[in-house]
Each structure stands twice: as structure tokens, then as C-alpha cells.
Amino acid sequence: MEIQETRFNFDIMGKRKLAAIFSGILLVAAIASLAIQGLKLGIDFTGGTLVEVGYSEDVDLPQVRDALINSEFKNAIVQYFGSANDVLIRIPPSEGLDNADISSNILSVLSGTGQNIEMRRVEFVGPQVGEELKNDGGLAMIYALMGILIYVAMRFQMRFSVGAIAALVHDVLITLGIFSVTRFEFDLTVLAALLAVIGYSLNDTIVVFDRVRENFRKFRDLTPVEVFNVSLNQTLSRTIMTSLTTLFVLIALFVFGGEIIHSFATALIIGVLIGTYSSLFVASPVTIALGITKEDLMPVQKEGAEFDNMP
Amino acid sequence: MNRYSLWKYILILFLIGMGALFALPNIYGKDPALQVSPSRSAEVSELTEFQVSNALEEAGIAFKSMDLGLETLVIRFNDEETQLKAQSVVTESLGNNYVVAINLAPATPDWLAKFGAEPMFLGLDLRGGVHFLMEVDMEAAIAKADEAYMSDMRSQMRENKIRYKTITKNKSGSGILIRFKDENERDSGDELISKNFPDLDVSVPESNTDEAQLVAVMKEQVVLDTQKLALQQNITTLRKRVNELGVAEPVIQQQGLDRVVVQLPGVQDTAKAKNILGATATLEFRLVDEDHDPQDAVDGRVPAGSKLYRERSGFPILLEKQVMLTGESIINAASGIDGLNGGPNVSITLDGRGAKRMSHATRDNVGKRLAVVFIENKIETVEKGGELVQEKIIVEEVINSAVIQEQLGKRFQITGLDSTKESRNLALLLRAGALAAPIYIIEERTVGPSLGQDNIKKGFDSVKIGFVLVLLFMAIYYKVFGLVANVALALNLVLVVAMLSLLQATLTLPGIAGIVLTIGMAVDANVLIFERIREELRNGNSPQASIHAGYEKAFSTIADANITTLIAALVLFSFGTGPIKGFAVTLSLGIISSMFTAIMVTRGLVNLIYGGRRIDKLKI
């Protein structure tokens, strides 16, 4: 049987060694960065206080910093947030401060400088709550991966399941690594984005696997590598289209969604790019490497079925 | 080929109609409003309506409408500024018996409201407000219960002439330590406690002294019940306090065994909210110990029956250990101005038992001084062994001490307060009642009203722009089929909004991000189908057969892909808090409704356009 005509005919599986090296380097770098400097955790996980203050006109950061340092907030971290009249103040959990009053005190110190200010946002997370959120976040990640492992194993086959999970772990680690290297802040919304990335990347992988399953049944004389190659090529235009539309909306979110949603959109954009790459170059090669054969996907022959037609 | 039966079209039209109906209220939005509801014995009637409209007219404040409901009066305004101005006017005119709360009232027309259609419920990050997670100090609740057992034991032992040395907290363990004169006394003490205190387990402690001792510990079930009760009482008190604050649609919910979530939409003065909610402020009335010199006590020689306090001015003062009366006996408190010196005061009304105790105690002590002690719990972060831990601090100050001129009764006043603001807050706290156990804010998320507005605007901007980008892209790339997919996408958006409104699920900023993400991902199903149709065409199949096969073959892929995403969203929902939950909700709803729009609706449209006739070429 002739291989049916496809729009693309790239030797994607032929590049799997190259891709393995590339992914390997990225993974090592990501893990190294995570091990050495870790993530820059937001106050959701570290505990502490964050106050966003809006000024009626542009304001100098040193001025704000001085006002705070001269009062009780010696270790205040001050930065602009989106524009020069929007200031973000962080106070790490520190000694001798009454938690509940920190934000009100900051506001009264700053309004004492004679400028017109407005409270835009206050977040205070107690140390024990931060610890809990961290644990819950880790657990969520593990439960999501386990749920997916079980579903894919049920719908396809264990080797596919492992391939899909390998791709997901790959995506999560590299996204985390990028957050670690760039020192972007990692907070609850980024965690949510990461779980959405898991969902998205899996989406891509499932579509490919679905086609692989179909093609194993259709082209009986092709090798597994060839089957995967055909399937990847057949689904390639869909993979690209969906990534593009998703990236469009994410870029809209990044540009127009405001400062508060930036890290969320960033995590998703990185995740979608890596997720697209991994469904092409990670999930399938891992499944191949685990020794998938067409027998694994053949419908189980009912015992004695061939005798049914006998007269 | 490729024809849908009539019932499928009817089903599609029905669902679209329902979707449009329930999404519609969102177009009308919400009006800034005031909600007047009675506190205590008052009721809202036409008279109130008349009073309010008069007061507003006098102040020259225009309002949009006024609706008298069963228990509330809702006044709508054109903008937030007038709403705030009106709040102070209305509060002043109605006085203490009504709660005037700021609210957002749906501007849904009556005919729509009849269907039960309401606009989406906006989360705190979009409408502004405060979210607190508070933790009840259970150790203190238990300590308080122990305290009560101890004082009961003392009086019962005295009544039964059992000679004990001391009854104190057991410092080397938990429970209460009772020291007796000898073993005989201990045995009768043991008998008494076992008989009269069924909540306690009594045992003889192992210790290296020869002294006759007993330890009484609360039974496990009793401890659990005490904690449960403390949490329940605290929730009740918090409810009352929130009502006093004047907040519409507050959320006060238990979370876990010892936590309470409090959400106050639209609250602007967060410092006040924090002070009032977390305040454990209560009053104690104690007699001043005039027989000893406070200065000696400062030097370390505190007399046995007394305790050293500080006045607000910093002067030391000695008060008797025995509490004459606590804040629990107070049934009403109102702030006002003292007729004599013009300073702020709080008039207090006691319950029957409290009044009796008060008159009893003051009768015998005319000419002595009575002190009012203000007690407050605070929490601070301190360093201990290299780790930051939160420590509780109890602030106790004597706000005033005055000579008892005559026997006091049910009503009296306290003075010596710093400002009218303080007297108002104190009166509010005394009215709402004391907390059963101290409560601490362990998480706060406050969003100012302007940021909420910004978040809504930016969120919807990104939805609009992302939506338009995807529409253009699909139309250019898939031509007629792209347009069909676009119709489905628009419907998907309407359905998501409708479901959110119908469920009254909270829409948050991450929730809007979830909608944006679904727009991107919802077209995936159509992309899968259309790519499949193109493939079939390339393989030389007829257009009609290609359409049929495209939908058929893509279906299981779409189902698999969406179910796995749903698993991730589900996990997110069960682990996430607040805003993150909102993201999970919109993502899940988006996925579910996209299955319907991207498969059924597009198929219906494609069948309408191409179905049942000969076609040579597909525009795809």
C-alpha cells in the first residue's frame, strides 16, 4: 500500500536524536538553575505583604523608598508596576511588625509625603499559609499528571501514557527553568498557567497519538517510526494552526491584559511554544524508544471469533 | 447526504435561545446602589422611603430609582461618586437603627429578571473589596474553658469545705493543677470533681514532690466540642460585625477546622474593616487597689490579690485580680458626646445578670475607684531560633478610672476615650459582642475600586482583541468554513457567559484569562475537523463524503483531547483558591460548550450550506 499523500513530508522522527540532545541540554540547564538559584517565589508562597499604590502623577522611586525606610519598613522593596505612577511595595515577613497593620501603616506613611495616593491592591499572606499554598501547588501538579497518566493508559496504551507524561514533565521543567533563569516571579497565577500548559501540551500530544493509533491499523507494513512520521506530518498543519490561534489570544492577553496578568500570560506563551515542540519531538520519540509495536494497538481478537463464520 | 434532522436544528436553536436569554442581563450591567436594611427592631417601610428621598432631595443628590422590597430598600445611582455621597447622607438621616450598605444592583429589566436571569457575579478582584482568611486561636479557646472550670472548682471546693492550696494551670503539661493540703483533702477533691465535672478526666500526676496533687484534663470529645463551639460563636460574632459595617453580599464561611473566610465586596476603608473584624477588643471592669503603691509593683513587688496595669498616659495602676464585670454582659452600646466635658463617651446597657452584679459590687464600694480595662489581641512576626513565627500579644490598657459616686445599675457611661472614632468603634464592637476566641488575619487580599475597574476593562479588552484576531485568521485560512467556525466561536462566548450567569459562578481576572484561553483553544476542534476534510479531499474523495468523514473521524480525537484538558482543569479547581478557581471554572465551561458549538453547531451550518446537493468544490 502506498503512503497516502500528505501536505508535509518532513522527516520529523529522523531528527529525534538531534531533538533529544537539544531537549537534554535545556533540561540540564533548567534543572541546574532550579537547583542552584531556585525560583523567585512570590508572596503567595513566601508569605509577606505586597501593596500597590497609585499616584496621581509620576513619582520617583527613591523618594518612596526613603519615606518607607525612614519609618518602620527597613527592608521594603519598591518598584514601578506598569507605569511611573504605579508603585509596588513588598515587605518580606519580618520581625516586630504587626501583620494586620502593615498595609495600613504603609499607606499612612506614603500619604504623609504630601502626594495624592490611592490604594490599589493589598496582599498579605501569613508564613504558614504560604507554606500550605506551596504544598498544595506541588500536590495539584502531581495529581494532574497522575490523572492524565491513568486516562491515557486506559484510552491508548501504557507506553503512550509514559510518552505523554515524559513530554509534560519536559514542558513543566523547562518552563520552570525559564522562570528560574529569567527571575520572573513565580506566584499562584503562574502555577495555574502551568497546569493549563499541561492541559494544552497534552491536547497536542493526544491528537498525534490518536492519528498514530489509526495509522497503525491502516498501514500494516510500515515500521513504527514510519507510522509516527506519517502521523506527525498529517497532523502538522493542525498543530501549527492551533498553536497560532492560541498564541494570538495569549499575546492579546499579554499586551492588553495589564501588568497583573503578565506573568500568567508569559508562562502560557512559553508553555504553548514548548508544548508544541514537545508533542512533535518528545512524546513520540519516547513512545518509540519504549518499543511500541503495532500489536500493542490492535483491537484484542475475540477468542474463537474466526470460527463464527464457519458453516 | 449531510443533512441534519429537524429535531437537531430545534435543539440547537433552543440552546442558543437559552444562552442568549441568560447572557443578556450582562449587557445591562449593574448600577451603583445603596441597600438599606433594618438592624434591631426597626423595619423598612414607605416611611423609610419617604425619609430617604427627603434627605437626598435636601442634599441635592439625584438618584435613578428607589425600590422598596420586603426587607430592604434599594436606591440606585448614576455613578459611584454620588453613591458614596448619598451613603453618608442616608446614614445620617436614618440613624443607628438601619444599616446602609454600598452595593451593586443588577440593572436587569423586569421581563428578563422574571426568567431568573442575572448578570455574572464579579469576583473581588474585579469589583474591588477585601478577602480575609482568619484563623481562630484554639489554644486560647481551650485556655478560656479551663479558666471557667478553675473558677467553678474554687467556689465548689469552698462550698464543700475542701481545703486546697491553689488551683492553677498545669505548667508542666495540659489541664488544671490542683494542690491540696493533704491526701485526705485530695481524695474528697477527687470525688467532687469526678461527680460535678463530667467533662474532665481527673488523675494523680506523677511528680517528685510529696505534695497531694490532682490534674484535671478536658476529655477529648469535650475539647473538640469546645473548639467547634468557639468557631461557631466567632462566625456569629463576625456576621454581626459585618452587618454593623454595612456591607452588602458579604461572604462569611468556615474553612477547615479552625478558619473562617470573610469577603467584603466594595469595602473601601479596609483599615477599618480589619480593625473591626479582627478586633478582640473587649472591656473588663475592675476595682482599683488603693491599699498598695503602684510604684512598688513596678519594682517587682506585686501584691497577691492585684495585677499591675498601665494607664494610657503610661502611669502604672494596680487593679484587683477579681473581674467585676466583662464585656459579655453588655447588650447595647452607643457612642456619643459627654455632656460634662464634651469628650467622646460610650453609653452602655447591661443585661439583667450584669446589672445585678454591677449594682451589687458598686453598692459596697462607693467612694472607691472603678477602672475600665481595654483588652486587645494582636499578632506580630518575631524571630525565634532563626525562623520567623507569629506571636500573639495581648495589649491591656486602662482607658479610665473614676470614683464610684453612687450605686451603678443597668445603664452607665464610660469616658476617657481618645477620639470620637475610637468611641464609635468601641461601641460597635461592644454591640456586636466579643469573639469567643481571638482570631487572626493570616491572609488578606484587597483590591481597590479603581484597580477593579481597570481589571474589568483590560480583561474585556484582551477578550475582544484576541477574539477578533482569531476571527480574522480563521476566515482567511478556511474561507467559508472559517466563517462557520467563527459563528460557532461567537456562540461559544455567549454560552460561556450564559452558563457563568446561570450558575452565578464568580468571575475573576484569571477567569477572564480562562475565557481568552478557551477562545484560542475552542477553534482547535474546528481546525481538527477542517484539516481532516482537506485531507479527505486531497485523497480524491467527493466533497460531500469528505465533509462526512472529516466530522466522523475527528470526533474521537476531539473528545480525547478535551477530556484530558478537563482533567487538568478539575485538579485546578479542587486545589485552587479564589481567583484560580475562577480560571478553572471558565476553562471547564469553555471546553464543554466548545464541544457543542464546534461540533454540532458548525455541522448544522455546514449541512445548511452544502448539504443534500451536488457540489464540485468546497471553499476550505
- pLDDT tens for residues B462-484? 989 999 999 999 999 999 999 99
- CB atoms B580 and A192 under 8 Å: yes
Please state which architecture CATH assigns to domain B6-25+448-610.
Up-down Bundle (1.20)
Residue A301 confidence (pLDDT): 47
Neighbours of A146 (CB within 10 A): 13
Mean of the pLDDT values across residues B365-392? 73
What's the pLDDT at A40?
Answer: 92
Write the CB contacts of A187 (distance below 8 Å, at least 6 apart in sequence).
A41, A42, A43, A44, A45, A263
B398 and B371 Cβ atoms separated by less than 8 Å: yes
Sorting pLDDT into bands at 50, 70 and 90, what band is B380? low
In this prediction, residue A303 carries a pLDDT of 46
pLDDT over 50 at A307, yes or no: no
Q: Where in chain A is the domain with CATH 1.20.1640.10?
A: 13-40+129-297
Does the CB of B600 have a partner CB in chain A at under 8 Å?
Answer: no
Span A31-58, mean pLDDT? 91
The residue ranking higher by pLDDT, A252 or B327, is A252
CATH code for residues B281-434? 3.30.1360.200
Residues of A in contact with B389 (CB under 8 A): 127
Average the pLDDT over B572-586 and give the result.
79
Give me the pLDDT at residue A22, please.
95
- Is B541 near chain A, with CB under 8 Å? no
Of the two residues B399 and B597, the one the predictor is more confident about is B597
Q: Is B381 on the interface with A (CB under 8 A)?
A: yes
- Of the given ranges (A65-74, B230-239, B433-442), which has the lowest mean pLDDT? B433-442
Residue A23 has pLDDT above 90, yes or no: yes
Q: Which of A100, A188, A206 sits opposite B441 (nearest CB)?
A: A100
Closest-CA residue to B446 (of B260, B255, B268, B278): B268
> Closest Cα of chain A to B291: distance in Å?
37
Q: Which pLDDT value is given to residue A240?
A: 92
Residue B499 is predicted with a pLDDT of 94
**Least CB–CB distance from B458: residue in A151, A241, A257:** A257
Reply yes or no on whether the pLDDT at B567 is more than 60: yes
Mean pLDDT score, B238-244: 83
pLDDT > 70 in chain A, percent: 91
How far apart CA B377 and CA B182 sit, in angstroms, is 40
Please give the pLDDT value at position A304: 44
3-state secondary structure of A93: coil
- Average pLDDT (B586-602) is 91
A295-299: Cβ within 8 A, 24+ apart: A296/A157, A296/A159, A297/A156, A297/A157, A297/A212, A297/A213, A297/A216, A297/A217, A298/A216, A298/A217
Residue B373 has pLDDT above 60, yes or no: yes
Phi, psi of A221 (to 5 degrees): -100, 10
Say if B535 is an interface residue toward chain A (CB within 8 Å).
yes
Residues of chain A found within 8 Å of residue B383, distances taken between Cβ atoms: 95
- State the best of A75, A242, A262, A273 to mutate against chain B, taking most chain B CBs within 10 Å: A242
Per-residue pLDDT at A302 exceeds 50: no
**Domain residues of chain B, as ranges?**
6-25+448-610, 30-107, 139-223, 281-434
The three cell numbers of residue B524 are 482547535
Report which residue type is found at A89. Answer: I
**More confidently predicted of B488 and B115:** B488
End-to-end CA distance of chain A: 32
CA neighbor of A239 nearest in space, from A12, A22, A14, A26: A12
Q: What is the DSSP-derived secondary structure letter of residue A2?
A: P
Q: According to DSSP H, which parts of B135-293 are helical?
A: 138-159, 183-196, 220-245, 270-278
**Overall average pLDDT of the A164-171 stretch:** 93
Q: Do B513 and A206 touch (CB under 8 A)?
A: no
Contact B567 A124 (CB under 8 A): no
- Whether A203 has its CB under 8 Å from any CB of chain B: the answer is yes
Beta carbon pairs, A and B, within 8 Å: 256
List CB contacts (< 8 A) between B510 and chain A.
189, 192, 261, 264
Compute the average pLDDT of residues B404-431: 79
What's the pLDDT at B464?
Answer: 92
| Dihedral angle computed from the Cα positions of residues B296, B298, B299 and B303, in that order, rounded to the nearest 10 degrees | 50
Beta strands in B385-438 (DSSP E): 387-403, 411-414
Residue-level pLDDT at B580:
75
Q: What's the topology of domain A48-125? A: Alpha-Beta Plaits (3.30.70)
- Cβ within 8 Å of residue A105, ≥6 positions away: A71, A72, A73
**A270 — pLDDT class (breaks 50, 70, 90):** very high
CB contact under 8 A, B443 and A126: yes
Mean pLDDT computed over A115-121: 85
The separation between the first and the last C-alpha atoms of chain B, rounded to the nearest angstrom, is 19
Topology match between the domains B30-107 and B139-223: yes
State residue A308's pLDDT score. 44
Q: If you average pLDDT over residues B128-157, what whole number do you get?
A: 86
Q: Indicate the pLDDT class of residue A183, thresholds 50, 70 and 90.
A: very high
Partner-chain contact A144 B442, CB within 8 Å: no
Confidence of residue A20 (pLDDT cuts 50, 70, 90): very high
Query: B15, B6, B13: which is closest to B496 by C-alpha?
Result: B15
pLDDT of residue A172: 93
3-state DSSP assignment of residue A95: coil
CB atoms within 10 A of CB B303: 16
Put simply, whether B560 touches A (Cβ < 8 Å) is: yes
The minimum CA-CA distance between A84 and chain B, rounded to whole Å, is 16
Q: Is the pLDDT of residue B221 over 70?
A: yes
When comparing pLDDT for B222 and A137, which is higher?
Answer: B222
pLDDT tops 80 at residue B278: no
Quick one: pLDDT at residue A95?
62
Residues sharing a CB contact under 8 Å with residue B608, sequence separation 6 or more, in sequence order: B4
Test B381 with A97 for CB contact under 8 angstroms.
Answer: yes
- What distance in Å separates the CA atoms of residue A110 and residue A53, rounded to the nearest whole number? 9
Within chain A, which residue ranges are assigned CATH 3.30.70.3400?
Answer: 48-125
Q: Determine if the pTM surpasses 0.90.
A: no
B213 or B435, greater pLDDT: B213
Q: Do B568 and A206 touch (CB under 8 A)?
A: no
3-state secondary structure of A90: strand
* pLDDT over 60 (residue B426): yes
Q: Could you tell me which chain A residue has the CA closest to the CA of B279?
A: A100
Q: Of all residues in chain B, what percent carry a pLDDT higher than 90?
A: 20
Query: pLDDT of A245-268, one tens digit each?
Result: 999 999 999 999 888 889 999 999
Q: Which long-range contacts (CB under 8 A, 24 or more apart) does A285-289 make?
A: A285/A13, A285/A16, A285/A19, A285/A20, A286/A162, A286/A163, A286/A166, A286/A167, A287/A159, A287/A160, A287/A162, A287/A163, A287/A209, A287/A228, A288/A13, A288/A16, A288/A224, A288/A225, A288/A228
How sure is the predictor about A305, in pLDDT bands with cuts at 50, 70 and 90? very low
- Residue A93 to residue B572, Cβ atoms within 8 A: no
pLDDT at B526: 92
pLDDT digits (tens, 9 = 90+) for B279-304: 766 778 888 888 888 888 888 778 87
Task: Please report, as a single letter, which amino acid is at residue B415.
Answer: T
pLDDT at position B527, please? 93
Identify the CATH number of the domain defined by range B30-107: 3.30.70.260
**B111-115, B394-398, B551-555 — most confident range:** B551-555
DSSP H stretches of helix in chain A = 16-36, 43-46, 61-69, 99-111, 127-155, 158-182, 188-218, 224-256, 262-281, 283-289
Which residue in A245, A255, A261, A279 has the most chain B C-beta atoms within 10 A of its own C-beta, making it the best mutation to test that interface?
A245
Q: Mark which residues 464-493 of B lie under 8 Å from A by CB.
A: 465-467, 469-470, 473-474, 477
Give the chain B residue whose CA is nearest to the CA of A241. Answer: B527
| Range of lowest pLDDT (A218-232, B30-44, B540-554) | B30-44
What percent of chain A stands above pLDDT 90? 39
**Residue in chain B nearest A206 by alpha carbon:** B561
**Quick one: pLDDT band at residue A117, thresholds 50, 70, 90?**
confident
pLDDT band at B16 (very low <50, low <70, confident <90, very high): very high
Q: Which residue of A has its CA nearest to B579?
A: A189
Q: Where are the alpha helices (DSSP H) in A91-157?
A: 99-111, 127-155
Q: Which of A98-102, B361-365, B385-389, B524-528 has the lowest mean pLDDT?
A: B385-389
Q: How far apart are CA B546 and CA B536, in angstroms?
A: 5
pLDDT of the residue at B385: 65
For chain B positions 407-446, those within 8 Å of chain A (CB to CB) are: 440-446
Q: Does A112 touch chain B (CB under 8 A)?
A: no
Query: CB–CB of B451 and A120 under 8 A?
Result: yes
Residue B156's pLDDT band (cuts 50, 70, 90): confident
Judge: B447–A99 Cβ closer than 8 Å, yes or no: no
Is pLDDT of B268 > 80? Answer: no
Write down the ipTM of this complex.
0.85
What phi, psi does B110 have (nearest 5°)? -55, -45
Share of chain B above pLDDT 70, in %: 95
Instruction: Indicate the residue of B383, B564, B571 with minimum beta-carbon distance to A202.
Output: B564
**Sign (positive or negative) of CA dihedral B455, B457, B460, B464:** negative
Over 90: is that where the pLDDT of A32 sits? yes
Q: What is the CATH number of domain B139-223?
A: 3.30.70
Which of A140-144, A295-299, B118-122 is least confident?
A295-299
Reported as a pLDDT band with limits 50, 70 and 90, residue B383 is low
Averaged pLDDT score across all residues of chain A = 86
Question: Is residue A194's pLDDT more than 80?
Answer: yes
Residue (of A69, A71, A89) closest to A79 by Cα position: A89
Contact call for A129 and B523, based on CB within 8 A: no
Output the nine-digit C-alpha cell for B577. 483558591
Q: What is the mean pLDDT of chain B?
A: 85
Query: Which CATH number is associated with domain A13-40+129-297?
Result: 1.20.1640.10
Report, as an integer, the average pLDDT of B596-606.
92
